[in-house]
Amino acid sequence: MENPSLTKPNTANTVELLAKERKGCSFSTQAMDNFINGTEWIKKRNTAIAIIRKNPEVFDLSQVYFMDRQEIIEKAIQIEANVAELLKDKKITQDEAIALFHFLDFGGPYFVHRAMFIPTLERQANEEQKKAFLEPARDYKIIGCYAQTEMGHGSNVRGIETTATFVEEDDTFEIHSPTLTSTKWWIGTLGIAATHACVMAQLIVKGKHYGLYPIIVPVRDLKTFKPFPGVNVGDIGPKMGFNNVDNGFVNFQKVKVSRFNVLQRYINISRTGEVSLLKDFDPRVTYSTMVFVRATIINTVGRELAKSVTIASRYTAVRKQGWTKGTDEVPVLDYDIVQYRLIPLVAKTFAMLGMSHEFYAQYELCINNIESGDFSLLKEMHAVSCGLKKWCSDTMIYGVDTCRHLCGGHGFSSFAGFSFSFNNLYPHIIWEGDNFVLAQQTARYLIKSSIDVSKPLGSKPADPTSLLLNRYTLENTMFSWKYKSVSQIANDMDLLLDLLAYRFSYFTHSLAKKIHIENQSWNDSTVEVQTLSTVYSEYMICMYFKRHINKLSSTDNIYSPIKNLYCITALSSLLRNTGELYSLGSAAGIDQNFISNLEDELMSAIKLSRSQLIPLVDSLGLPDEKLNSSLGRYDGKVYEDYMSRALMEPLNRKDSGTRIRTEQTTNLAANYDSDVSTLQVVKAARFDENIGESLINSTLVNVFNSQT
């Protein structure tokens, strides 16, 4: 057997391999960065990097993989306190603070204070209340949380059990948790940090129930931080991830607060218990807030997937395995199956980041219209935001997982950077509407729009989705792609989009028919509804992404690589479950041959992006501090970084392993008997009492330290 490692020294050459990948770059990575991230974000990103590099003692997170929960919380509060200082001293803006936290992937215990407590006061407190609560909150004199979710009641707010009952005698409201399940739960910032909670409770005045209203309840003393009497408050314990936030619980045993503490923008209770509802909250405004929150999630998860695809692309480009092409080992990125798993994820990352510029623009248009009384775009916006939040967060979380798996065994090490991210990002598929529930919101809108198609012209909605549903009814026989070759279709952004549009329209009308003509119940439709939401979102992703790409001239050197990423996104969406394509039928020109050719086109497009893959992920603009990964280092010093992190493992500190072993194996220890085997075996070993130090001081370590 000829063994390459003996015929020439294997030095892995990871640095050289990565450099070589960058040589063939056909476009300006800086222009691509500008185009895909936007100059505004790049400015914030640069501010964030500057803050981190200026004060690494606070902001460097390279040690986070060694931290236990308590240390993580301590680090998070340390960062929070420093950011609060920077904000107070006006050294950074609120937007930059948000960008910094996003950049660090490490929100802290004041997150809800900033993101929910303060905005709720801004919207729902009257002027006196703003003075009492909002001003000290802005100065971090009090720290607040938003206590809505209960142990037994998640997204279903109607089920909330906590009561706030007016007590006329002493002009107070009595806050009470009648059952164990009514304990407020998952409340961020409440575990250890909050002094005040904005509690959502069922308001009861003189025996009459008025529904859910927010009440400010002090929970911990401002000097001692001890909880007030009747307030059972604490941290809900360890979680899969997100341990940098102190999600807490609170259960109130008849705790009294002043009547003043009920936020009074929408309701007023007089000294004698007269209740006046000041104005109705327009539920459509709530919808637009939800749209905004989901738009933010969509953008966030795109940036997070960017991190994982950067790591996986760089590492698979330098990790060699197998000898399929001659004598030298091949980078695993040269295998079809690796490209097939990785490159569509890179494409979708670009799609998410690119489309979000246009999606935000559409959102702003929608809001402007609302402000002038025109709500016509809101329903579609809401439906699209639900679908996209599901699609983007699913794509991101399972994309991170795929990237981890693509890195083989080393992907399983914390130092790879995937697992900490995966665990922290996981809630995105659950919160702000569980993804399986959100699909129903999207589908309800589509089914309704399908019915509207049969209405007389003039009286039917004219939002973009409705127009498409009008064009692609089940009776339609006009297909723009029908007389084109598969290769023409696969390389034409418009034709691909038409196919995606037809697919979601077909699924919409088919399900609407089942529901409205064949009387299928909604519960019996919830499985199909998931597919409907997905095919609709895949259209929307591509539609907005194309709109962004269309701003480029086709002669721009970034046009061709980004257009190819669009084609990969569209093709891999169309081919996700080929059964969906088959069901569109041969009338639309779709048969086994068509599908099989489309699969070949997808693979060709993937191979086209392969040659530019490292420059493409470079242009996502994520520095090593953000990646926090041995495998994803920009300079390719993968193994040097990996080893130097391992050496920091606390178990490797002098005597650490020995202590554990000795303490825990007292009984067994009597067995160890060096006479039996050591002397016979280690003939040549020189004993050295100071060898415990060898780990850190060895030549090996010095060798690669000098390289770093």
Residues annotated as catalytic (active site), given as ranges: 432
Q: Which residues pair with 202 in a beta bridge?
A: 163, 212
Of 36, 112, 216, 512, the residue at the interface with a copy of itself (CB under 8 A) is: 216
684: contact with a copy of itself by CB under 8 A: yes
273: contact with a copy of itself by CB under 8 A: no
Contact 493, 566 (CB under 8 A): yes
- Span of 90-98, 228-236, 283-291, 295-303 interacting with a copy of itself by CB under 8 A: 228-236
Residue type, 395: T
What is the x/- site pattern for a copy of itself, positions 230-249, by CB under 8 A? Answer: xxxxxxxxxxxxx---x--x
214: contact with a copy of itself by CB under 8 A: no
674: contact with a copy of itself by CB under 8 A: yes
CB nearer a copy of itself, residue 478 or residue 670: 670
Of 361, 488, 700, 702, the residue at the interface with a copy of itself (CB under 8 A) is: 700
Q: Using CB under 8 A, count the residues that bind a copy of itself.
A: 192
- In the complex, what is the shortest distance from the CB of residue 418 to a copy of itself, in angstroms, rounded to a whole number? 8
C-alpha to C-alpha distance for 339 and 345, rounded to whole angstroms: 10
Of 16, 40, 95, 139, the residue at the interface with a copy of itself (CB under 8 A) is: 139
Of 26, 55, 156, 705, the residue at the interface with a copy of itself (CB under 8 A) is: 156
CB nearer a copy of itself, residue 60 or residue 235: 235
86: contact with a copy of itself by CB under 8 A: no
Contact 392, 384 (CB under 8 A): no
C-alpha to C-alpha distance for 595 and 499, rounded to whole angstroms: 12
| Contacts to a copy of itself from residues 310-339, by CB under 8 A | 320-324, 329, 335-337
Of 66, 270, 462, 587, the residue at the interface with a copy of itself (CB under 8 A) is: 66
- Span of 28-36, 202-210, 452-460, 492-500 interacting with a copy of itself by CB under 8 A: 202-210
Residues, the chain: 708
C-alpha to C-alpha distance for 119 and 133, rounded to whole angstroms: 12
Q: Which two tokens stand for residue 454?
A: 């049969």
611: contact with a copy of itself by CB under 8 A: no
CB nearer a copy of itself, residue 485 or residue 658: 658
CB nearer a copy of itself, residue 36 or residue 318: 318
C-alpha to C-alpha distance for 637 and 639, rounded to whole angstroms: 6
What is the x/- site pattern for a copy of itself, positions 403-442, by CB under 8 A? Answer: -xx--xx-xxxxx--xx---x--xx-xxx--x-x------
Of 286, 703, 705, 708, the residue at the interface with a copy of itself (CB under 8 A) is: 703
Task: Report the alpha-carbon angle 666-670-674, nearest 5.
Answer: 125
Q: Which residues are annotated as a binding site for FAD?
A: 149, 188
| Contacts to a copy of itself from residues 1-40, by CB under 8 A | 1, 3-6, 9-12
Contact 263, 354 (CB under 8 A): no
663: contact with a copy of itself by CB under 8 A: yes
Contact 79, 104 (CB under 8 A): yes
222: contact with a copy of itself by CB under 8 A: yes
Which ranges constitute the DSSP H helices of 260-335?
283-318
Contact 424, 108 (CB under 8 A): no
- In the complex, what is the shortest distance from the CB of residue 441 to a copy of itself, in angstroms, rounded to a whole number? 13
Which SS3 state, helix, strand or coil, does residue 450 take? helix
- In the complex, what is the shortest distance from the CB of residue 11 to a copy of itself, in angstroms, rounded to a whole number? 6
682: contact with a copy of itself by CB under 8 A: yes
367: contact with a copy of itself by CB under 8 A: no
593: contact with a copy of itself by CB under 8 A: no
| Contacts to a copy of itself from residues 620-639, by CB under 8 A | 639
Q: How does strand 275-277 pair with strand 196-205?
A: unpaired
- In the complex, what is the shortest distance from the CB of residue 247 to a copy of itself, in angstroms, rounded to a whole number? 9
C-alpha to C-alpha distance for 463 and 617, rounded to whole angstroms: 36
Q: Indicate the helix (H) or strand (E) that contains 684.
A: none
Closest CA to 515 of 530, 506, 525: 525
Of 23, 272, 579, 706, the residue at the interface with a copy of itself (CB under 8 A) is: 579
Contact 201, 213 (CB under 8 A): yes
Of 136, 273, 589, 623, the residue at the interface with a copy of itself (CB under 8 A) is: 136
C-alpha to C-alpha distance for 72 and 91, rounded to whole angstroms: 25
Of 457, 478, 517, 685, the residue at the interface with a copy of itself (CB under 8 A) is: 685
Q: Which residues are annotated as a binding site?
A: 149, 188
CA atoms within 13 A on the CB side of 240: 9
657: contact with a copy of itself by CB under 8 A: yes
Closest CA to 447 of 510, 518, 387: 510
169: contact with a copy of itself by CB under 8 A: no
- In the complex, what is the shortest distance from the CB of residue 582 to a copy of itself, in angstroms, rounded to a whole number? 4
CA atoms within 13 A on the CB side of 691: 5
C-alpha to C-alpha distance for 537 and 120, rounded to whole angstroms: 31
Q: How does strand 196-205 pair with strand 144-147?
A: parallel
Which ranges constitute the DSSP H helices of 60-133?
69-88, 94-104, 111-112, 118-124, 127-129
C-alpha to C-alpha distance for 271 and 167, rounded to whole angstroms: 10
Closest CA to 299 of 231, 340, 352: 352
Of 55, 155, 487, 702, the residue at the interface with a copy of itself (CB under 8 A) is: 155
Of 266, 375, 582, 634, the residue at the interface with a copy of itself (CB under 8 A) is: 582
286: contact with a copy of itself by CB under 8 A: no
- The terminus-to-terminus CA distance of the chain in angstroms comes to 36
517: contact with a copy of itself by CB under 8 A: no
